[in-house]
Structure 1
Amino acid sequence: MRSLVLPEDIWQCVASFVPSDNIAALISVNRAWYNIVLDARYREIHWDKVDVFMTRTLVRLRTPSIAARVRRLHVRAWFIEYLINKESQESPSYVESSKRWVARHFRMPSTPPRVAPSASGKTSAARDIIESMTQAVRLMTQVTEYSFEWRDLSPTADTLRFLSAARSAFGVSLRKLTLHAQLDNFTSLLSTVDFDNLEELELSFDHDHGVSPHSAALLREAIAPFVNHFRRSIGSLLISSASKADLSPLLHELQEFPHLHKFVARFAFDAEHLSDPRGLVKILRLNAESLSSVEVGRTFAGTSDDTREPPSTWGAFSLVLQDSSAVLSNLEVLRIPALTTFDATLACIRRSGDTLTSLHLVDHFLRDDEVVALLQVFAHRPFDAGLQTLYVGLMNLTVETLDLLASRLPGLRDLNLVLAPTTVQDIVHRDSGPSMFCVTLGVHFYQDWPLQNIGIWEKRFIDTPISSREEKALMEHIARCVPSIQTFKGETKSVGVPCRYWDAS
């Protein structure tokens, strides 16, 4: 029977209602389904380990019609370095067996491109793999998102040839670029990633073994100009560092980005890794009018001398941030650790009290009076959706707290609470009588609160779906009183063993 003749966009709409596990079985229905299945299969490619799946995918990606379907390419190149090192340590028989395995799975053509021999006069399995990756990348002319994790990979001629092939193929289509590398490797890396229409840029400086004497010059004279080159087109910028270098020279050299709406900064705020945080505040000030989303994170980075703790610069950052009245104003999304005082934190949040829809306040457990003060910032917004996502720490969780959240944040969809140590255990009381919280909440019902997700963590400000037994029991308890809740920590809620202290009886 002939399939119904419909425009391909109609079939795309139909496919959106088909479970992803069932789509592949429909590849032979018609040409529209053929394209839908192949687009789904090759839209996003991850090269992070050598296995049968990767090698089969590489073979198919050397077909232009297949390679052109790739939209997102993620490369974690550490596995190439691993193969090279392993081959150098193994016997010749291991290297030959590896080459036979690669040849068998890659089905290399009878007249492969010439590859320069290694120092020993022979090609290696690792070089065969990266050569095949290079061939595939040359055909990927529609990639819009590209991430490359360099790690400890040496800047050899083969790796640079691969990166140059990516630059040529993605030059027009690429919109998002993500680079992970040690600081010293960025010079080689940046020479191969000059794209014309970049809208999102993410730079992560990986952990290194020591501070180079040239790191400040590299940041100021190479990396800063590279970032500034895209200032007219960039709408989203992320800079993260686990390096031992001081990132201050880079931040001070960055210019204004007229269309920047999202900025993410993750650093170790101490004298060795961010000696002068005023550069970070400068970026926030220069782009205050365009920014709608800001995330500032505190990370850990090893010091050059592990026997001492470098002085913190978070206090200096807090002070400058508090004094810069235009910074953090009119935001929709704010993720930030608490400043040195709660009053300073609250003053900064008030700058976006009319516009915030998502607030993540970490590294501080709010007292009851601080909860009241924080929610008061949004109390004047009863006629709009108001705050829709809230992530905060609490010293105490009471029924009165939930009542306050429901009344002051009537449009809240996503609530995430990090509770102080022992709070969850005190509330649940699995091994003793019912807690007052369980008894009191058992007769409450938040019928009109549109909350869809609840997350409970005990003493850890880490956004992970993993839950302890007590955390899950508490989330289930709250969900019984809020019928709109569909997920726990972003995962579809499952019915667990009921808490035997839910009911007053």
Structure 2
Amino acid sequence: MSLPNDVWLQIVQFISPSAVQSLYSLNSAFFNVAMDYRYQQISFSYLSDRMLWQMKRLQDPEVAKRVRILHIYPQFVKDAAAIDTIHAPLSLISKFGEIAGQFKFGKQKSRLPLKFKTCADLMHVMTDILSHLPNLTDYHVLWCGLPTIGSYPALVLSSPLRLNLRCLRLEISLEKLEYMLTQSLPEIEELDLFIRVDHLLDSHHYYAILLLLAHMISSLHSSLRKLTIQLWEPFDISPLFFSISHLPLLDKLSLSIPMSSPNLGNPAGLISFLNCHSSTLRSLSIRASELGGRSLIPNDIQLGGWMDETFSKVSLSGITSLEISLNLVPFDSALLCVRRFSNTLTSLIFTGLHLAYEDLELLTAAFPPCRKHTLQYARIGPLALSPQLVDLLADRFAGIEKLELLVKSIVPSEGDVPFFYGRIGTERDQDEGQVGRFIEEMKHRRYPKWKLRHLDLLGSSYPKLNASEAQYRSVFMQCVPALQTFV
């Protein structure tokens, strides 16, 4: 069929990626989409047939230009080191020789192809490949737990940094980080740091590395918009926060705080950083982690003290979005953060811990009637939904437009205990009588001043109930005149 290319591209939107890839030979439109699906995201980890095949394909500029996301875990360096020994498998060396001479971008195939007799030969080829991905936007590196074999990993891993990247994610040992920072970074918009520590150096050396990292981040002053910092274990990175200069475009910060002391280090460092970016930060995400702490028992009291000391001294005049995971963060410390920033918040995510009615009273009270902005969106829970809770939300969040509730159970009156039947450990149904009485109670309620337009009782947490969704939809649409959608 002779159809315009735009029409074929519209047709592709209704076909699954796997089906499109099987139809690559249909025409040029399907071929290009199928090739984009296949090569838009690639990964290099172990030195395998698949990796070698990908390297061979990426010699072709028509293939290389399709790569958007690259993941690297440099185990292949350790594997390739076998080439330097007499124990190297002959089949592997011969395989290298078969493809080595073909990695010449924009040139004819060499008459005398190079032989990968050493690890350095392979690293040279890989460096050439990874620096010729013209449309690469997202680069993810996992480099920890592997020995530093000369300068090979750093040469290979830093080669994509010459490209016009948008996002860089480094999950890396602090000791290896200095090898990655030997050249300046492109003008990336998102930097995600997941830092581990191998405890191989003295404190002065770590201090120097943190200053080097701060200099690298500061060099992104004209582009960086999102910064994520997560530690594998508690470590004092306050020198990093103290040394980062003002980033005028930074509007989103995500922090993962280790539960054990020293958490992120001297609170003054983070306080200084946050206050320095008070007018530009719009979004703040806070969570706690206990991945590699020194104690098997998370110390939430110590974490709470650290958070209280930090965020009680922080002023963020421009913040509009706050996300807090209550999975390990103490409720009181999370509530302190909400109170500190409630005057300007328009979006709140407050999830990870079952919230009682009393908790929600405290949370909603953190938003006084007279404040600079009205909360427009909230995602809260898990919780037990009751008519009294709906009353509370309608009164305290009268101006909210979209509300997502992670509902664990439904009760006809606050204080009632939800009843379930079925075996513990399996998906269970809630008592049909309780659900029916909840619906009957809600039929007598009206919220004419509530501006809520979208209500979502999230399916992932919603209890399996006998009452049909239509009943819930009907009663809420009747209760809330402004409501347009109910899920």
- Does residue 398 of structure 1 match 2:394? no
Matches of 2:422 and 2:295, distance apart in 1: 46
Q: Would you say the 8 A contact 1:46–1:73 is kept in 2?
A: yes
Matches of 2:230 and 2:382, distance apart in 1: 24
Matches of 1:414 and 1:205, distance apart in 2: 33
Matches of 2:128 and 2:454, distance apart in 1: 51
- 1:498 corresponds in structure 2 to none
Relative to 1, partners in 2 of residues 1:309 and 1:361: Cα closer, same or farther, differing over 3 Å?
A: closer
- 2:342 corresponds in structure 1 to 350
Matches of 1:295 and 1:452, distance apart in 2: 22
* Corresponding residue SS for 1:149: strand
- Does residue 293 of structure 1 match 2:291? no
More moved, 400-409 vs 194-203: 400-409
- Does residue 228 of structure 1 match 2:229? no
Q: In structure 2, what residue type is equivalent to 1:177?
A: L
Q: In structure 1, what residue type is equivalent to 2:336?
A: A
Matches of 1:300 and 1:84, distance apart in 2: 34
Q: Would you say the 8 A contact 2:65–2:135 is kept in 1?
A: yes
* Corresponding residue SS for 1:258: coil
- Does residue 83 of structure 1 match 2:74? no
- 1:430 corresponds in structure 2 to 422
Q: Would you say the 8 A contact 1:284–1:328 is kept in 2?
A: no
Following superposition, the deviation at residue 414 of structure 1 comes to 3.4
Partner residue of 2:256 out of 261, 266, 276: 266
- 5 Å-filtered alignment, 1:65-464, equals 65-77=62-74, 79-80=75-76, 83=79, 92=87, 95-99=89-93, 109=102, 111-113=112-114, 115=116, 117=118, 133-155=126-148, 156-168=150-162, 170=163, 173-192=164-183, 194-209=184-199, 212-243=202-233, 245-303=235-293, 312-324=302-314, 326-327=315-316, 329-335=318-324, 337-338=329-330, 340=332, 344-353=336-345, 355-356=346-347, 358-362=348-352, 365-375=354-364, 386-394=375-383, 396-402=384-390, 404-405=392-393, 408=397, 411-412=401-402, 414-416=404-406, 426-430=418-422, 434=431, 437-441=434-438, 443=440, 450-452=454-456, 454=458
More moved, 25-34 vs 148-157: 25-34
Identity %: 19
Matches of 1:366 and 1:221, distance apart in 2: 41
Matches of 2:334 and 2:185, distance apart in 1: 43
Query: What is the alpha-carbon root mean square deviation over aligned residues?
Result: 4.2
Matches of 2:89 and 2:313, distance apart in 1: 62
Relative to 1, partners in 2 of residues 1:435 and 1:377: Cα closer, same or farther, differing over 3 Å?
A: farther
Structure 1 gap ranges (5+): 118-122, 458-470, 486-505
Q: In structure 2, what residue type is equivalent to 1:61?
A: L
Q: Would you say the 8 A contact 1:45–1:72 is kept in 2?
A: yes
**How high is the TM-score relative to the length of structure 2?**
0.75
Once the two structures are superposed, residues 408-457 of structure 1 have per-residue CA deviations (whole angstroms, 9 ceiling, x without a partner) of 476335333579xxx99944233699376434245568999633461566
Q: Would you say the 8 A contact 1:236–1:263 is kept in 2?
A: yes
- 1:502 corresponds in structure 2 to none
Following superposition, the deviation at residue 64 of structure 1 comes to 1.1
Relative to 1, partners in 2 of residues 1:387 and 1:309: Cα closer, same or farther, differing over 3 Å?
A: closer
More moved, 365-374 vs 57-66: 365-374
Following superposition, the deviation at residue 197 of structure 1 comes to 1.8
Q: Would you say the 8 A contact 1:210–1:304 is kept in 2?
A: no
* Corresponding residue SS for 1:451: strand
Q: Would you say the 8 A contact 1:202–1:238 is kept in 2?
A: yes
Name the count of aligned residue pairs: 441
Once the two structures are superposed, residues 368-393 of structure 1 have per-residue CA deviations (whole angstroms, 9 ceiling, x without a partner) of 13313433556969xx9954341335
**How high is the TM-score relative to the length of structure 1?**
0.72
